[in-house]
Chain A
Amino acid sequence: MEFRRHTLPNGLEVVAECNPAAYSTAVGFFVKTGSRDESDQIAGVSHFLEHMAFKGTAKRTADDVNRHFDEMGAHYNAFTNEEATVYYAAVLPEKQEAAVELLSDILRPALRRDDFDTEKQVILEEIHMYEDQPPFGADDKCKAAYYGPHPLGRSVLGTAESISRLSVEAMREYFQSRYGAANIALVGAGQIDFATLVDSAQRFCGHWEPARAQRIVESPDPRQGFQVIHKPAATQQYAVWMAAGPSATDPDRYAAKVLAAILGDDTGSRLFWELVDPGLAEHAGLHHYEYDGAGLMVTTLSCEPEQVEGNLQRILDVYRAAQRHGVTDGELAQAKHKVGSRVVLASERPRNRLFTVGSDWVQRHTYRSVRDDLDAVAAISLDEVDQVLQRWPPSHGMTVTIGPRDQVKPPA
């Protein structure tokens, strides 16, 4: 296992964790742009643009793109979040160069008007699909309420209105400003031939304009509150509860992940024993999310509508008890075993390593091996977990609940 890096003259970075023992190769372009880099006028353009990359280039039609990926037997896709747009393919090692050529071609999409109009319908369908699915948009609404006007408050999908009125010209302009070579990293994991990877990058991306994109990172000014959204057609009641957490560069972030496992993992956590095991809630969990300059501790709950007040109170009581008395040695050891084992199991697939290595690079400009991550988890002390509880109490924040209840009393 070896980490290699190289920067092209136009600023495009090439990084890879090369594992000669792997069966497959994963490659991906990580573009440092997402919903936080948009304005309200063009909300959702990053994600829509990600779809448009598959709709054809100067030398390929949309059918060609999908056909060529399938012909090389690639497992490929793309996703967009608040801070990054990622295009990736997992292939057999002999297809490494072909995969990089195809991915780099779609990173320079044709953005044809006809395709744009057709794909707009698909995006609107995606928005409608999420509106019909739990938690029925409560996650986006909570983020908007919590962050207010801060760019992290924007929905990754955008809204039906912002997508409907988006023009292809506005998308082309956004593309020009965000897809410069210096804002993109080509990442590899698994059985990577690094010399060939650099050579491919130079041949296929060397002519890309270097333009470096800026991201304005302002500290958020999060809000507290409690909102109820009435959705009579829902069967269950859902709640999303957001509080501040350590950011992508905060050393507290490992302890925050372990804390989230202790308090709110799917099994064996305090929320599991208080709410899920007794059958009071279908689901209750706590997760940590990290961004550039901000972080979130997110609690999610789904349960029978009549039980939502009781359950929110139980969650608050669990958090307060932890904030007051800390957690135990036994809980810390259990969470470390669980998190550590997950790291090992996930690392067996190059495509999983690709996402970890890629996010480490675009978020922090660092490389961390599986061993580094295991060591960081193993080193966490009770004191550090306590500090995270004091600095980042999950109990303070914004709650949005959605479901058949038109009124819900906040926990006290």
Chain B
Amino acid sequence: MSEAIHCESLSNGLVLVAEPMGWLESAAFTLLVPAGCVYDPAERSGLANFTCEMSLRGAGRRDSRRFVEDLDNLGVERSESVSDAHVRYSGATVSANLPAALGIFADVVRRPHLPPEQLEAARQVMFQELRAVEDEPAQKVMIELRRRHYPDPWGRPSQGARQAIELITAEEIREFFGRRFRPNGTIVGVAGRFDWPRLRDLVGELFGDWPSGDESPVEESPPQRGSTHVAYDSNQTQIGVAYDSVPYRHPDYFPAWGAVGVLSGGMSARLFTEVRERRGLCYSVYATYHTLRHRGGVFCYAGTTADRAQETLEVLLGELVRLGQGVQTHELDRLKARIKSALIMQQESSAARSSAVARDWYHLGRVRSVEELGRLVDQLTCERINAYLAEHPPQDFTIVTLGPHALEVPRGVS
């Protein structure tokens, strides 16, 4: 079982959180830099994503080819992405190679070359990403749903818009990097097999002399919400439905999360049973909890043949409304059993834990250990969930459909 979680705050604001998992061969890191797409200027959507792509094209003493070769030789399985609040760099490898991998990524976030001669290639990569989404209807509907449900800029897609990406200059990328890549707000999450004093010293050496930057507030504008149809040439109609929830840091998080688990955790959960198993309406249906730092949402999806889409939407909305009437003990018991084993199985993945500890720090300013999470789940009762649901029944739905025909939204639910 997991040992104490280590934490070290540098004077420039960077935080290292590390969970030892001495039984593994591997170690993983998740590096969150406070440069997410909510900081994209209004006419430059996609700038954070573009900057992330450019940061991987050479850093420190490595050109872009050397950068990739060295990481491959260290056996680093890596991924980079941009979320609302962060540019996220993550990697996992055998334990002995963790220090070298962290050293390379310290260069990426502090000393990227952002080479002007590669600007056009990187711009093409941005366009490729945008075009790829156009061919993924299930992804497209959920991107549109999030954009409409959350206030701007919190719901915007990191991929940005083509017109904006066309205009982005090397100078703007440099400026965005200078303004947003900084230690205050940066979180380094590590999990797996490592030596804590050495890791702490290494992170101090790599990041300790990184100067802090200024805070800049994010201005919000209200979302459009309501229901929308996007015309799309396909066999299936994609249905997305969202409603409000509480954020991860909220005292009611566990009951809110438990209610979503009853709706869509495991194949005996309500949506899968009612929409797919009983009626055969679709192959894929789910609801998922999502959190920003200061607000949360539940996002539901179903994809079905156009002529059965109306019925699918009605059954889906019916289940959301029914959830407001409460959950039963046997449903919660099943959810707890699933979570108990999921928490134990998280102990088998350094990558999963490194991401969880970094995420916890961002939302809570502390880390919940697997044991603490287990206790909190154990303490959850039907009464608490039902009290939460009575106060916050699923309602005021944001609905996006995508497919050959628009659907009718039943009265009284949206």
Residue numbers of A with Cβ under 8 A of B are 21-24, 54, 62-63, 66-67, 69-75, 90-92, 95, 118-122, 124-126, 128-129, 131-134, 233-236, 267-268, 272-273, 276-283, 302-304, 330, 333-335, 337-338, 340-342, 344-345, 348-350
Contact = CB atoms under 8 A, between A and B. Distances in A.
A348 B283 contact: no
Given A70-B267, A348-B348, A63 B235 contact: no
Nearest to B265: A70
Closest 5 pairs (CB-CB, A-B): A279-B124, A341-B75, A121-B280, A73-B337, A73-B341
Contacts of B135: 133-134, 234-236
B93 A69 contact: no
Interface in B228-278: 233-236, 265-269, 272-273, 276-278
Contact of B136 (A24, A74, A134): A134
Among B23, B121, B128, B344, which residue has the most Cβ atoms of chain A within 10 A?
Answer: B128
B268 A129 contact: no
24 contacts: A22-B348, A24-B345, A63-B268, A67-B268, A73-B338, A73-B341, A74-B341, A75-B338, A92-B344, A118-B279, A119-B280, A122-B282, A125-B303, A132-B137, A235-B135, A267-B72, A268-B69, A268-B71, A279-B128, A282-B131, A303-B128, A335-B72, A341-B75, A349-B345
A65 to B, nearest CB: 8
B353 to A, nearest CB: 11
Interface string B48-73: 00000000000000001100110111
B329 to A, nearest CB: 12
B174 interface: no
B200 interface: no
Among A22, A90, A302, A337, which residue has the most Cβ atoms of chain B within 10 A?
Answer: A337
Given A73-B337, A125-B305, A278-B121, A21 B23 contact: yes
Given A125-B282, A348-B350, 8 more contacts: A23-B348, A72-B337, A73-B337, A267-B71, A282-B131, A283-B132, A333-B73, A341-B77
Given A122-B276, A125-B282, A280-B124, A236 B132 contact: yes
B349 interface: yes
Nearest to A340: B75
B390 interface: no
B334 interface: yes
Contacts of B338: 70, 73-75
B284 interface: yes
Nearest to B53: A279
Interface in B347-386: 347-351
A119 B26 CA distance: 42
Contact of B280 (A63, A118, A279, A303): A118
B283 A129 contact: yes
B333 interface: yes
B398 interface: no
Nearest to B269: A70
Interface of B: 23-26, 64-65, 68-69, 71-78, 92-94, 120-125, 127-129, 131-132, 134-138, 233-236, 265-269, 272-273, 276-284, 303-305, 333-334, 337-342, 344-345, 347-351
Contacts of B283: 122, 125-126, 129
B123 A279 contact: yes
A66 B132 contact: no
B268 A268 contact: no
A75 B132 contact: no
B235 A131 contact: yes
Among B69, B129, B277, B333, which residue has the most Cβ atoms of chain A within 10 A?
Answer: B277
Contacts of A340: 75
Given A66-B277, A122-B280, A337-B74, A344 B26 contact: yes
A277 B64 contact: yes
Contacts of A92: 340-341, 344
Contact of B305 (A66, A128, A234): A128
A226 to B, nearest CB: 22
Contacts of A24: 341, 344-345, 348
A334 B340 CA distance: 39
Contacts of A267: 68, 71-72, 78
Nearest to B284: A129
Contacts of B272: 66
Nearest to A120: B280
Nearest to B234: A132
B64 to A, nearest CB: 7
A236 B272 CA distance: 32
A212 to B, nearest CB: 32
Contacts of A350: 348
Contact of B267 (A54, A132, A341, A348): A54
A233 to B, nearest CB: 4
Nearest to B278: A118
Contacts of B277: 62-63, 66, 118
B268 A132 contact: no
Contacts of A91: 341
A156 to B, nearest CB: 14
A73 B92 CA distance: 27
